[in-house]
């Protein structure tokens, strides 16, 4: 018995790196997988079909269920076909893992419009495209345990020099996840994110060699396996994964301060006088939705 017996997964960017490790493990645990990869160079240029097919063949040789797809995640039409491949070949879709990624690093004053657009297109629009098509099928086929896992990055969560396009795209994926997690509280679709750090071509020039050796993509895989499982009931989580380190990252809202009673005209001097309290993370916690912030402020104003 595998942990994912009977489940069907689409994994984008699964021709190499973390995505390939995820696809192979999911298949080893019984999932039927669509191994998607356009197979581009690190900056998104060029194309070949090889690696996605090779990953699928490795799975088939071991007795697993897999099919390769070379859909470009930036294409609305091709991602529609990608989702349909899962349904046509395996009859359903349970898990979507958005791993596909490219980088085109540059300082902001040197960044071209093309560098910006290309990175936003793969990460942010690509995630919209696959999610949009999967959600249509899930809406028409309620009753499953549907899971989306988005690969985001510490570059966006914490900031990273020369990656303004990449960081913005990854945080766009977090915003998309936050809203979908709030929208879909009832139909058992769980949206979660992983912020990985692992040895791949994306990090070979960034990670110091001793760390590169230790940060195997295989360390990321168990977190995907858990988030993809029927047992996981959490949604809207961001999980840092690096080496053997797993930790939750969150956007939090601190207690702050009400200045006046909601009617007083607050001045910049008031803000300055209360700056230490405003910026402190006192009683900081993640909010369940924007509505929670409305309720919180309303309760303070009514006191």
Ligand X SMILES: NC(=O)c1ccc[n+]([C@@H]2O[C@H](COP(=O)([O-])OP(=O)(O)OC[C@H]3O[C@@H](n4cnc5c(N)ncnc54)[C@H](O)[C@@H]3O)[C@@H](O)[C@H]2O)c1
Active site residue ranges? 166
In the numeric block, which tokens belong to residue 41? Answer: 């160079």
Residue 253: CB minimum distance to ligand X, A = 25
In the numeric block, which tokens belong to residue 191? Answer: 């949206």
In the numeric block, which tokens belong to residue 108? Answer: 């902001």
Q: Is 122 helix (H, G, I), strand (E, B) or coil?
A: helix
Residue 251: CB minimum distance to ligand X, A = 17
Q: What angle do CA 120, 123, 125 make, to 5 degrees?
A: 70
Nearer to ligand X, 40 or 287 (CB): 40
The residue with its CB nearest to ligand X is: 17
Among 27, 34, 38, 119, binds ligand X (CB under 6 A): 38
Q: Near ligand X by CB under 6 A, which window of 156-164, 179-187, 198-206, 287-295?
A: 198-206
Residue 190: CB minimum distance to ligand X, A = 19
What is the four-CA torsion angle of 24, 26, 28, 30, rounded to 10 degrees?
A: -150
Q: Within positions 239 to 298, which residues make up the interface with ligand X, using CB under 6 A?
A: none
- 3-state helix vs strand vs coil in the chain, percent to 5: 45, 15, 40
Q: Within positions 128 to 167, which residues make up the interface with ligand X, using CB under 6 A?
A: 151, 153
Please give the DSSP secondary-structure letter assigned to residue 246: E
Q: Is position 127 an interface residue for ligand X (rule: CB under 6 A)?
A: no
Nearer to ligand X, 12 or 85 (CB): 12
Q: Are 100 and 36 in contact (CB under 8 A)?
A: yes
CA distances from 69 to 42, 45, 51, 116, 233 (A): 19, 18, 10, 26, 29
Q: Near ligand X by CB under 6 A, which window of 26-34, 182-190, 193-201, 223-231?
A: 193-201
Q: Binding pattern to ligand X, positions 11-30, x when CB under 6 A?
A: -xx-xxxxx-----------
Q: Near ligand X by CB under 6 A, which window of 37-45, 58-66, 244-252, 261-269?
A: 37-45
Nearer to ligand X, 144 or 149 (CB): 149
- Count of residues that interact with ligand X, criterion CB under 6 A: 32
Among 100, 167, 181, 238, binds ligand X (CB under 6 A): 100
Q: Near ligand X by CB under 6 A, which window of 22-30, 83-91, 94-102, 112-120?
A: 94-102
Nearer to ligand X, 32 or 68 (CB): 68
Q: Is position 202 an interface residue for ligand X (rule: CB under 6 A)?
A: yes
Q: Is position 74 an interface residue for ligand X (rule: CB under 6 A)?
A: yes
Residues lying near ligand X in the complex (CB under 6 A): 12-13, 15-19, 36-40, 42, 44, 72-74, 99-102, 122, 126, 151, 153, 196-198, 200-203
């Amino acid at each position: 018995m595998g942990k994912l017996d009977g489940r069907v997964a689409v994994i984008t960017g699964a021709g190499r790196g973390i995505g390939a490790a995820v696809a192979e493990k999911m298949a080893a645990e019984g999932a039927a997988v669509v191994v998607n990869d356009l197979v581009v160079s690190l900056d998104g240029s060029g194309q070949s079909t090889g690696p996605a097919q090779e990953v699928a063949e490795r799975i088939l040789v071991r007795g697993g269920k897999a099919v390769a797809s070379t859909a470009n995640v930036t294409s609305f039409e091709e991602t529609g076909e990608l989702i349909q491949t899962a349904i046509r070949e395996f009859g359903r879709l349970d898990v979507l893992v958005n791993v596909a990624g490219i980088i085109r690093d540059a300082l902001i004053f040197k960044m071209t419009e093309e560098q910006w657009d290309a990175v936003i297109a793969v990460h942010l629009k690509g995630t919209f495209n696959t999610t949009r098509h999967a959600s249509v099928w899930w809406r028409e086929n309620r009753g499953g345990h549907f899971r989306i896992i988005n690969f985001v990055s510490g570059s966006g969560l914490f900031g990273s020099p020369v990656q303004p396009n990449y960081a913005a795209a990854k945080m766009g994926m977090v915003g998309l996840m936050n809203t979908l997690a709030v929208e879909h509280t009832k139909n058992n679709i769980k949206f979660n994110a992983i912020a990985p750090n692992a040895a791949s071509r994306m990090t070979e020039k960034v990670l110091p060699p001793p760390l590169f050796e230790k940060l195997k993509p295989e360390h990321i895989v168990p977190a995907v396996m858990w988030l993809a499982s029927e047992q996981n009931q959490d949604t809207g989580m961001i999980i840092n994964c690096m080496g053997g380190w797993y930790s939750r990252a969150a956007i939090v809202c601190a207690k702050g301060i009400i200045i006046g009673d909601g009617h007083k005209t607050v001045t910049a001097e008031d803000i300055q006088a209360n700056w230490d309290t405003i910026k402190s993370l006192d009683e900081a916690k993640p909010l369940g939705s924007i509505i929670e912030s409305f309720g919180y402020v309303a309760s303070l104003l009514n006191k």
